[in-house]
Every structure is written in structure tokens, then in C-alpha cells.
Amino acid sequence: MNNKQEIELTEINNAPTSDENLFKKVDLSLLKGVNVELEAVVGKTTIAVNSLFALKKGEVLPLDQAVNDEIYLKLNNEIIASGRLVAVDGCFGIEITSISES
């Protein structure tokens, strides 16, 4: 079994933000009510089907991402930003550290 280690996440409350927008200035008046789904990519793993079906409660699947690696934010399967994992009011969150040039 792998060496399991719990991590402590930084709690963020009303963190200061920068003036840099995630997207370049565009007229959003037609789109302001449209919802989109963002995906936060924390890591991935490969597992054989027989191992997948043999999983038990409490087992840990190690991911290919280190604790301090960046988390990627995807929109329609395209990376739009990266950041670090934080805790916000008892939930996971991403503090944006860089914005993709597109």
C-alpha cells in the first residue's frame, strides 16, 4: 500500500483578487444568463477493470499529480486557467494563479 498522507488546505475567506479578467473584454449582454460548466482537473490514474470492481471503502487511489502541482480549470475540455487547491467555507476551491493565453 502507498504511503497515505493527509494534506491541509489553505482556508480562503474574501481573498483579494487581481484586476486581470479571465477573459478578454467582450460584450456579454447576450450571454450573461447562460451557465457553463467548468471542470477542475486534480489528477488521474489508470486502473485495471478487475481492480476497479475489487475496490473497497477506505482504499486510496493515488493520482499522477503531486500535492503542490497546479490544478487546471477546463471549459469545454480546453485549459483556460490554472491555480492551487484551497478550502472555501468547508468546500474545495481553486485560487487562480495563471490565465491561459488564447
The distance between the two most distant Cα atoms of the chain, rounded to a whole number of Å, is 53
Q: How many domains does the chain have?
A: 1
- Residue 70, domain extent: 38-50+57-99
pLDDT in tens, 7-60: 777 776 665 666 666 666 667 778 888 898 899 988 999 999 999 999 999 999
User: Does residue 10 lie within any of the structural domains?
Assistant: no
Categorise residue 16: left if φ over 0, alpha if ψ from -120 to 50, beta otherwise.
Answer: beta
The Cα 10–Cα 85 span in angstroms is 8
